[in-house]
Structure 1
């Protein structure tokens, strides 16, 4: 079923919740459709950034990138984060090996700000955030809780729109850095099915993806567009053997090689289903519904537990003596031998031999070296389930004072659940009876939204109608913690003898930790666009939002666009914004394992209002506040399109996880008095805080040129971003190293240059990716940091259209296997060669190297 032109125009012009404005050409402004016919001069229309009718390309007063569905498929990786990273230079994504929950749901950074400073929309409706909080977020994302973008499959996309401008006055919280709107396909016929397989040049990380899309008629007046994706990805390893593990291996102790793995996690049974449905109820009213179900299992690396130094398991005095427990309990008349550790083989230690041989003296004595003589390396993972459903109706008012105007009424619900799992570890307090695998508990994020939007054009005798839009929104956000299996938090009999409790590396959530925390807010907005002349347009937005926790906030935005000549337009904006602290950030508590000055320690994250947090400087969280402005120019002439935009974003009272604060004996005593268990095993405490202010500025440049060439049709596309972040104010709660990470971890310069070429039977592209200098950091430890060199990688792909329906594709990312910055292994005295890594994990191009792939597609 094909909609007539008038209905299509009406749907595009007045999709109020999505809103409509103009964007730029996508990086590859060509599509391989209809058996390879070239697609010239395709005008791209965005539905984000304004609530007026669409205008021609380049007329937007704010910068927007539009990435078509065809372009998203031109990459070897099927992760939406990686797809976007190659097309939007101001978007950075790290691999995050050994980063706890950040390895399960990777955060992304637009314009150098954390993942929860970018608002994500699906078909113009607010997308729920993930349940996972990035406790180890590499400085920039420490404590961030953004949406899980990776569940969105490229094959379901009509286009992706990236609004590179603050938009909190239009859309509410989280839009400080910008907005990403994912627009689902709405075809009522046709479809495609593809199979893709690839792996890294190293011979690991094999990925196989099956995906499909089909458009179906939904009665004679609607459509049902359905998509699926199923994929599996093997783990990668870019590791060498740790020196301490190598020493044990040389003594004949069984140790895995490598003992600790740095690389991408294993992802199994990653399945995603998306649906988009529309139905014309009459000539003026349309029903719509869309949603998804997604689930995947993830398993990644973790830190190696040294069998002579790991606190609470093998030693409590940094390897001076072995931790030995009396299984019959202290005071039974037998004193377990003291095992002094001198660095030699433990099997040759006479005192340990008494225990291992079950002599009369050591019969009831136990050391974990008997079970795990070479130490152990936990694997951290989880099961991630994501679901959403949005339903609504939109149409035209036919009577009353709003006659001729348009409305959109919708409701949505989104849920993200993370069930955490940790393998190959132990609960030391349970001694030899400990399980080895645990389920420490779950986080659940549940969000509900109701929106009512109206829009109407009014004739004030200007160049054309003034568009006036307004609306109401109600939002509820719930964060829930569910307790883990009993063994993951159990206090075993050996606890009183110095053995740690809970699953080592991630102790489970106790029933007392479980809880459900809810916050509600409502908002009202007004959005006006005034075309003073044919050449001069201004927009005005005002939004009031009230939260039942910290109160209310009011934000504004003013935009302007001036058509100076037929080919040159000037544009700019000034706005304020905010980001509300998430319910999870305000209430979550957790114990995590991290490195402190090169030593593996356990750290407790407490709510900011916990008495211990308050004692150390914690306060109830308040919203971040931002002020931003942009100014830019658009030039377009025949086949050439060029934009340049400067931006400046000032954020006050930024929310992040505090630095890890070392616990004094007095702090530990207070923690014990507050009922916190296993205090002696904790070395540090952190909490969420509004502690620092930043100024981020930068320049975006986008250029496209298309022409007939080489007997076909070619497109050249350049995208460049310069980004600089400075921390204007901070305290010891944040710490100087974290400030350095905020300012230097991301490259100041990023660029892509793409040449796409299309003939009747063949199409392809070559893309050069430039990554400027950045701060290389290993294991979140300041002594490892260095300035890493700039690098260039090349991506290439070629597609042959075997028939009108079947195409075959081969390609490679990082074609010439450009290595990430290597760690320095020049001497034993250097700290960064202790943990088995080969590369700095902050590499903006990843650490896995070249990747090749093949793909077959059937289009119908």
Structure 2
């Protein structure tokens, strides 16, 4: 059995332990003792009493940062959570995939107020291996000002909550104040002078009848794009040769532009009397994301400007023979009425701009209360909707020749989910140290994925296709009538959850869940967990569970074509993803998808060293039959014809294809260490916290015909193995000082084949309160303007100065100013 490497940074733990000998007075730790609402169905249990590791993050931890995307805010405070910038990643640029404990985005279950959140319509086709093919939720639609606290359950919990809860569970608790609120204005930009952001956010609580509350939050804003490119050598050579139409840089690497970014949340509750409560919450959000794609060289781009051996010149009147334009140069074609070159439309080449309009809304309503027989009940129903309407412009459908438009609507992805839940809880006296808490319930869920067809020009095979010109909108082909459609899948589940203190200080819990899916059948999963208090300052905890993740209807049925840079060919290639049951996929081993299966176990300790509270947890996640895209297969002409007939019209110019498969097994294991310390010896009060994560993933078995060596390396090295944060917040009169040091280990970037070394970043924030209600905050993320080491092959390749998969971004320092008024 492979042994995890020893603690790589013992000095950090030494600092934390040494602080325990400080004579300073310790404050009661407000974070670790917060009451939790996930991982247990017993009311009033704290994080230290839980049998599994749960991090409690206050709303202030998110508000006191410069950004507005909740993914990035969560990454900054939870070391086991990773998310990248995603500059040129197709739909992943619209909804960024995030990873908890080194697993895929859809291995983490997201809850709001303890209820399942719907997933996004976007499938991350390009995710540096770890996120490839994942379809997770979009938490960026939640405004941080709406959050009361966030609970991160770092353990498998499929037996308690169902599909997706393999890496863990994140629960966003919304504010429920019935009075007061806050308004905040935030502005910032990167040290480079670009990427300017501006947001206005507000939260307001008010009574709802005499027995209830309604709490409303919103955030509106925008974000300009950034540029961290170097000019590509091929583009520089064109300019040197006299082509003044080539842009500098020809290709932009940076964050996309985000416009009309609206996030809104409503949380409502009212006491109905008689021990009953009505509650409801929901969100509405939308944004427009616009980013760049790869540069199309006006001399060499195949199927647009080149036929592979020379200029590609179209014959607009083939009736007099297809050879009329043979041997023509681009310059000769420009002076010919019959011969056509795309240098007429884009003499300097072109770089498509791609994006989408994202719409996200959800609503949930329920009633909970107590029955006369002692049972507590909770009945709820919800609806979640996410739609991404794609657009692409500054490009062509080359097969249409001079009749091609330069902007297209390729179509849309839509995700719709419906949930109905009944949960029952009751305590029974059975002679143990506490009541035996019995929870049981029922869930019905229906999930629908839809592909809406694009405009005809985005998928049409035009008259010049027979002469070698590519069909469909170049860069992101549209969805044709046969590719469009709607696919649904429903399932039902029931569970039982038992928990009790067997004797004083010994907690034992167990859960069993049965689910029946209409497409692949049934699955049963279980969990055992315990917490044993050895002394007042030391307790041990551990768990063992099985879990699963069901393939989504989107993964089972989606079509997609991505233009990617091939390192071997040093050129762009079109790679398609097709359903695993497509006849072409069946020839290469494709078949209907089955659920992934996991076995999780953790063991840890919660202890106090003087004034320091420490939790240490080891985890091991064995995951079988993982769902992910296969390796790429070259297409034969017969397969191209079959794909075109099945609706993938852009297959006429595809080089390769892939499909989803249950093909490989992995083991992910590591350590989490969290230490917190509070003192009044520094300023009025100071809170110091250390959070450390070390995660390793190894691919245990795979089929070489479907998963290649590069993909294995992505899975094992694509994310930092080690991450830690050390943060401190000090109050001195009307001043608040915050500093955070974050370390990111090295990572592998498959796009340029490099391993990049780790980096350390510093964040800082200073706040001054003019009154009890008004304050101004000045801060900087990445204060020292740290960037990844430069890509040595940037100019020879596609111009990416830095690794696009940098775990902390590649845009350098960001400073911001916030003003806040509370009432």
Same topology, TM > 0.5: yes
CA contact (8 A) 2:683 2:730 kept: no
2:461 matched residue in structure 1: 491
Gaps in structure 2 of 5+ consecutive residues: 1-15, 17-26
* Structure 1 equivalent of residue 324 of structure 2: 335
Match of residue 727 from structure 1: 699
SS for the counterpart of 2:324 is coil
Summarize the Cα distance change of 1:279–1:672 in structure 2 as closer, same or farther, 3 Å threshold. Answer: closer
1:304 and 1:376 in contact (8 A); partners too = yes
Instruction: Give the C-alpha shift of residue 692 in structure 1.
Output: 0.5
Distance 1:527 1:726, change over 3 A: same
Say which of 107, 112, 128 aligns to 1:138: 128
Is 1:293 equivalent to 2:284 in the alignment? yes
1: CA distance, partners of 2:658 / 2:364? 37
Tell me the equivalent position of 1:365: 339
Q: 1:579 to 1:192 in 2, by over 3 A?
A: same
CA distance in 1, matches of 2:545, 2:47: 23
Residue 376 of structure 1 pairs with residue 350 of structure 2: yes
CA–CA distance in structure 2, aligned partners of residues 314 and 833 of structure 1: 20
Residue number in structure 2 paired with 1:304: 295
**Mean alpha-carbon deviation: is it higher for 757-766 or for 207-216?**
757-766
Of residues 15, 38, 45 in structure 1, which corresponds to 2:35? 45
Residues 352 and 623 from structure 1, CA distance in 2 versus in 1: closer, same or farther, beyond 3 angstroms?
A: closer
2:790 aligns to what? 822
The equivalences for 1:744-783 within 5 A come to 744-775=717-748, 777=749, 780-781=750-751
Encode CA deviations 1:379-411: one digit per residue, 9 max, x unaligned. 11000000000000000012xxxx122000000
**Distance in 2 between residues matched to 1:283 and 1:639, nearest whole Å:** 45
Shift of the alpha carbon at 1:491? 2.4
Q: State the match for 1:718 in structure 2.
A: 690
For 1:206 and 1:846, how far apart are their aligned partners in 2? Answer: 16
Provide the residue aligned with 2:19 in structure 1: none
How far does the alpha carbon of each residue in 1:312-335 deviate from its partner, in whole angstroms, 9 at most, with x for none? 211121xx2111112123436981
Deviation at 1:657, TM superposition (A): 1.0
Which of these residues, 52, 56, 76, is aligned with residue 66 of structure 2? 76
Q: CA deviation at 1:821?
A: 2.1
> CA–CA distance in 1 between the matches of 2:300 and 2:639?
24
Q: Are the counterparts in 2 of residues 311 and 681 from structure 1 also a CA contact under 8 Å?
A: no
Aligned counterpart, 1:90: 80
**Secondary structure in structure 2 of the residue aligned to 1:86:** helix
Which residue of structure 1 aligns with residue 811 of structure 2? Answer: 848
- 2: CA distance, partners of 1:174 / 1:216: 36
Q: CA deviation at 1:666?
A: 5.0
Aligned to 1:31: none
CA distance in 2 between counterparts of 1:211 and 1:521 reads: 38
Give the alignment's Cα RMSD to 1 decimal.
1.6
SS at match of 1:307: coil
Give the conservation status (yes or no) of the 8 Å contact 2:477–2:650: no
Q: Distance in 2 between matches of 1:230 and 1:41?
A: 31
The answer to which of 554-563 and 432-441 deviates more is: 432-441
The separation in 2 between residues aligned to 1:832 and 1:477, in whole angstroms, is 45
How many angstroms does 1:790 deviate by? 1.8
Tell me how far 1:764 sits from its aligned partner.
1.6
Secondary structure, aligned partner of 1:46: coil
Contact 1:240 1:258 in 2 (8 A): yes
Q: In the alignment, is residue 478 of structure 1 matched against residue 448 of structure 2?
A: yes
Unaligned runs of 5+ in 1: 1-26, 28-37, 340-350, 826-830
> What is the 5 A alignment of 1:443-842?
443-596=413-566, 597=568, 598-636=570-608, 639-668=611-640, 670-671=642-643, 676-731=648-703, 732-775=705-748, 777=749, 780-781=750-751, 784-825=752-793, 833-842=796-805
Structure 1 position 496, deviation (Å)? 2.1
Rounded Cα–Cα distance in structure 2 between residues aligned with 1:416 and 1:123: 19
Between 1:303-312 and 1:389-398, the stretch displaced more is: 303-312
1:355 lines up with 2:333 in the alignment: yes
Instruction: Give the alignment of 1:132-211 within 5 angstroms.
Output: 132-211=122-201
1:432 aligns with 2:402: yes
Alpha carbons 2:482, 2:646 under 8 Å: kept: no
Distance of 1:845 and 1:69 partners within structure 2:
22
User: In the alignment, does 2:391 pair up with 1:413?
Assistant: no
**Contact 1:439/1:488 (CA < 8 Å) preserved in 2?**
yes
Are 1:215 and 2:205 an aligned pair?
A: yes
Structure 2 CA distance for aligned equivalents of residues 678 and 465 of structure 1: 63
Question: Could you say which residue in structure 2 is the equivalent of 1:21?
Answer: none
Q: How big is each residue's C-alpha offset from its partner over 1:771-809, in whole Å with a ceiling of 9 and x where there is no partner?
A: 11222x2xx44xx32332121110000110011111000
Measured against aligned partners, the alpha-carbon deviations of 1:715-771 in whole angstroms (never above 9, x if no partner) come to: 110000010000001123111100001000111110000111012301121100011
Q: Which structure 2 residues correspond to residues 261-300 of structure 1 after superposition, within 5 A?
A: 261-300=252-291
2: CA distance, partners of 1:636 / 1:81: 31
- Name the CA distance, whole Å, in 2 between partners of 1:670 and 1:217: 62
**Counterparts of 1:231-242 in structure 2 under 5 Å?**
231-242=221-232
Distance (Å, rounded) in 1 between the aligned partners of 2:771 and 2:645:
74
Partner SS, residue 169 of structure 1? helix
Q: Give the 3 Å change call, closer, same or farther, for CA 667–466 of structure 1 in structure 2.
A: same
Cα distance in 2 for partners of 1:701, 1:105 equals 30
Provide the secondary structure at the position in 2 that maps to 1:818: coil
Judged with a 3 Å threshold, the aligned counterparts in structure 2 of structure 1 residues 676 and 53 are, in CA distance, closer, same or farther, namely: closer
Partner of 1:8: none
Q: Does 1:324 align with 2:313?
A: yes
Question: What is the number of residues matched between the two proteins?
Answer: 793
